[in-house]
Amino acid sequence: MILVCAECGQENRVPAARAAERAKCGACKAPLAPVSTPLDVGPGEFSEIVAQAQVPILVDFWATWCGPCRRAAPEVERVARDLAGRALVLKVDTDRHAELANRFQVRGIPHFVVLKQGSIVRQGSGLVDHRQLRQWLEQAAA
């Protein structure tokens, strides 16, 4: 993935699995902020991140036609922003990546899965707010 340096504008390639870590710009050595937005991923990126991430991961299974998913999106974005550097937030479009939805037995959306070191810590369907999502991630980190 590409992170842009806020100081010099240089584009820096950072492995997706290390997106929660603080890196340095290759040009000016200024610190690069960790990813603070949800990452839209497919099976390849998903597997890489889950296998290598050192922080808890929230996965939001969603679809464009889903009203509750659209209402959950700002809550998911807020959690990504609030926990930048301490957690990663992934979004999986169930229409485009049905194999991932099947792997996690997603039967209703929005469906949330919290992973830690590749293992499921919690999962469930239904609309929840950012406070609940944050609590799940913080419990997984403890």
CA–CA distance, 58 with 74 (Å, rounded to integer): 14
Could you list the active site residues?
66, 69
